[in-house]
Structure 1
């Protein structure tokens, strides 16, 4: 009944892990979901011939998710069936679903079939509903079947409480038996099926969930004025799914899932020793303070007050990499990419040519409901596409503000995961941080973050003879000797340049510096 050649182009998704079966063991085939990030969360894709439930509240994205999976797998040889029960009419649903880029109107009617079961459901006959489902599956021999929404055929809470019976209502026991029989039919036909249901999280213990091979739960969380969508693979039989909640976003392309950083980076652990290779910072005089430059693969933080030149240091680091023929990715949170590219020209860089050549990518991440995982996915995608060896994040302060409030509460943990995931790929990360402290303790959101980075460069204003002077110092470098001096530096339209060490003044950190008597 099933053609292996037909199935070969829609199984074993690109995210599927390589597994060697034991002798006599049959490895599960996987359907590509067509949803970026979801195959990884499911542990390799949607198991073929599995019986799955997409659950969640209204507006969570269940129907869009099902449609995206459907269009990713439907073929003329093995079409897809989409049954609507008592939800929105087919015409209305198609009117909105066809706005997504994954929707292919040429497939409707030959590879994708929409069938409405409202008449059978309104008659109150579960056997008729099941019979219609069965006959259509036998007639069209589909590869994937969606029932949206099977839960609409059960009695409402008010009807159950009052004892009122109506043609379109069924007992809970009847619905459970219906789903069991439906699951038995679909799995015996070797059909991959998706049942969509409106459920709240406390209802996860219902017996119906024990029948399913896979359960994907979609939620929306509201925090202040921000709404964050999350997805959980509650259950996937026969394979190890990623645990936890994963954020996702719905755009004109459909759903995109952003797997949690620790899980998606499990195979990217940093196993290599600290590199002896150094990268030039691009700031004249700074490499000498750093003991010869920045070790490859380090995470560097430049912290300072407003106007001290943090972004300038970051831009010179990026420009130096481009001059050396490296690829660079810059994530900006406080200015538009066009403005950043314009300032690069002052460093003898032709940004337009480098962008066209795929050597430079400037990513603008400024919406106010970002998640850390979404940010990482964007940066990693750009790193992979460009082969970047340097990443600049400007700035962590803007990054925190751009996050949805629910993610700001654990920003230190999120930053730790983000930096760890990036450096695990071998790139060198250069970050800027707005810091108002004038002491040697670098703080952020009230918590120390020094352990997150390998190298910390601090910029300060000090008063010398009634004038503000910019000074820079290196307060941390893991596994490397570095300068302990305070050095003056200047910023011009050509960038920053490190000057002489301050040797004749004491108390720079106290706010009341004094000149040494021996120098007078």
Structure 2
């Protein structure tokens, strides 16, 4: 019985791409890197090439009717992955425009074959392959010639032990019937979508033979460092919230609130703090993080409503400077939940964080690109599930308009996401607005049903005794108690 062939997987050098591909680029594979104009195909191809190219693994980059090599390199060298020392040593550029002018595919194939034999590359890139296909359409029998060209090219590259990428502009995978789609071992699709005034880039691994690729459509950015992909984090079947079963409780930093919750927040829970503007949600979030640091638990905060300088108190800034509190940069517009979740997971793992604060869900939704707001509820559910499955305790704040006569526990029906809910409200008493706090729920745990007044002092939240003077306080319609009415 023969042994199975082992296929080596090459690290792409593109953050997040190897995870989508199922572990990396299969060596000696024949791949199509396709997508809409301006979606980043050439940039990602260069990022892969410069990451992998070395004296023992040389790369050959063919340009057809796309940009001239000198013009293309002028822009690509702005990225940090560009290594000029590799040009003409580990990387060679060849322009095939003249060979394709007469539409002779055999001549193009022969030129590619000659260059490959002379240079002996391990990596071959053809950009833009769509130019070859368009040339075929204008010829008699062009489709048959193109199919023959693709098949011959694929067989030759495999026989020469080269990992090959054909780069081309296509509108959508389901709208194409090019023979390259059948011959290719892997198909990576890149696109950019405009929704209202926001542009979002997305990537999909349509096909990758021999390995389980990441399903679905994922977001990516082209930044000053190149292409950065944010794979959709999914809750695996084996993930379990073991910390919840441990019985461990985390202090909120407010002793009376811990007592009201039955001893604090169960580890691994998601806690939703709701209330109107100015009711003290961010103050409670600050105390939650500070208390964690006092107990040796590193925290991470993602603040969407204010800049870090506006949001964070002197106490939290001190914790950040000491490395005991991490801050996620949320000032970039048109975010995706996958991008935020990716950054959270990376920081949680790097710092060993046990507490996460998201302040607030309302600001979070507004920070998203418009195309991601439609499924915000579903994406938020997935994000909370992934974080709590990591054993992290999550505190989220959400602003609610206090209408007094209407009792709500969250915006957009998000209450089901939380394992515990703490509600803050205003009531009008004796010509003043007073703050009250109550614990709405703590799953699988007994908790106080009291409605208690609280104040915000220089030391944080201070909770008073239960309110017995008035009933119906949550509706904002105070009803005199029997002692007051004389009944």
1:484 pairs, out of 438, 449, 452, with: 449
2:467 pairs, out of 502, 511, 514, with: 502
Q: Which residue of 1 aligns with 2:61?
A: 82
For residues 41-440 of structure 1, what are the structure 2 equivalents within 5 Å?
41-155=20-134, 160=138, 171-201=142-172, 202-262=174-234, 265=236, 268-270=239-241, 273-341=244-312, 343-345=313-315, 351-352=317-318, 354-437=319-402, 438=404, 439-440=406-407
Asked whether the 8 Å contact 1:54–1:217 carries over to 2, the reply is yes
Asked whether the 8 Å contact 1:315–1:344 carries over to 2, the reply is no
Q: Which residue of 2 aligns with 1:33?
A: 12
* Cα deviation code 1:32-53 (max 9, x no counterpart): 1111111111111111110000
* Cα deviation code 1:169-221 (max 9, x no counterpart): 98222222111110110011111110001111143443320100000001111
Q: Secondary structure at the match of 1:285?
A: helix
The 1:503–1:275 alpha-carbon spacing in structure 2 relative to 1, beyond 3 Å, is: farther
Q: Secondary structure at the match of 1:247?
A: strand
Asked whether the 8 Å contact 1:221–1:227 carries over to 2, the reply is yes
Q: Which residue of 1 aligns with 2:414?
A: 449
Asked whether the 8 Å contact 1:284–1:496 carries over to 2, the reply is no
Deviation at 1:507, TM superposition (A): 1.3
Deviation at 1:273, TM superposition (A): 4.8
Deviation at 1:124, TM superposition (A): 2.7
Asked whether the 8 Å contact 1:155–1:171 carries over to 2, the reply is no
* Cα deviation code 1:467-518 (max 9, x no counterpart): 2110001111111111111010101232111111101211112321112022
1:323 and 1:462 map into 2 onto residues whose CA distance is 33
List alignment gaps of at least 5 residues for structure 1.
1-21
Q: Secondary structure at the match of 2:89?
A: coil
1:358 and 1:24 map into 2 onto residues whose CA distance is 51
1:285 and 1:251 map into 2 onto residues whose CA distance is 47
Asked whether the 8 Å contact 1:153–1:170 carries over to 2, the reply is no
Asked whether the 8 Å contact 1:296–1:427 carries over to 2, the reply is yes
Q: Secondary structure at the match of 1:60?
A: coil
1:367 and 1:73 map into 2 onto residues whose CA distance is 31
Asked whether the 8 Å contact 2:241–2:268 carries over to 1, the reply is no
User: Number of aligned pairs?
Assistant: 482
1:476 and 1:205 map into 2 onto residues whose CA distance is 55
Deviation at 1:142, TM superposition (A): 1.2
Q: Secondary structure at the match of 1:175?
A: helix
Moved more, 136-145 or 61-70: 136-145
Q: Secondary structure at the match of 1:238?
A: coil
Q: Secondary structure at the match of 1:49?
A: coil
1:417 and 1:209 map into 2 onto residues whose CA distance is 33
The 1:331–1:482 alpha-carbon spacing in structure 2 relative to 1, beyond 3 Å, is: same
- TM-score, normalised by the number of residues in structure 1: 0.89
Deviation at 1:268, TM superposition (A): 3.9
The 1:427–1:468 alpha-carbon spacing in structure 2 relative to 1, beyond 3 Å, is: same
1:462 and 1:24 map into 2 onto residues whose CA distance is 75
Q: Secondary structure at the match of 1:256?
A: strand
List alignment gaps of at least 5 residues for structure 2.
none
1:124 and 1:366 map into 2 onto residues whose CA distance is 50
1:429 and 1:44 map into 2 onto residues whose CA distance is 30
1:334 and 1:101 map into 2 onto residues whose CA distance is 32
Asked whether the 8 Å contact 2:275–2:399 carries over to 1, the reply is yes
Q: Tell me the C-alpha RMSD between the 2 structures.
A: 1.9
* Cα deviation code 1:219-269 (max 9, x no counterpart): 111111111111000000001111110111110111111111226x56644
Deviation at 1:443, TM superposition (A): 3.3
- TM-score, normalised by the number of residues in structure 2: 0.95
2:320 and 2:2 map into 1 onto residues whose CA distance is 50
The 1:154–1:213 alpha-carbon spacing in structure 2 relative to 1, beyond 3 Å, is: closer
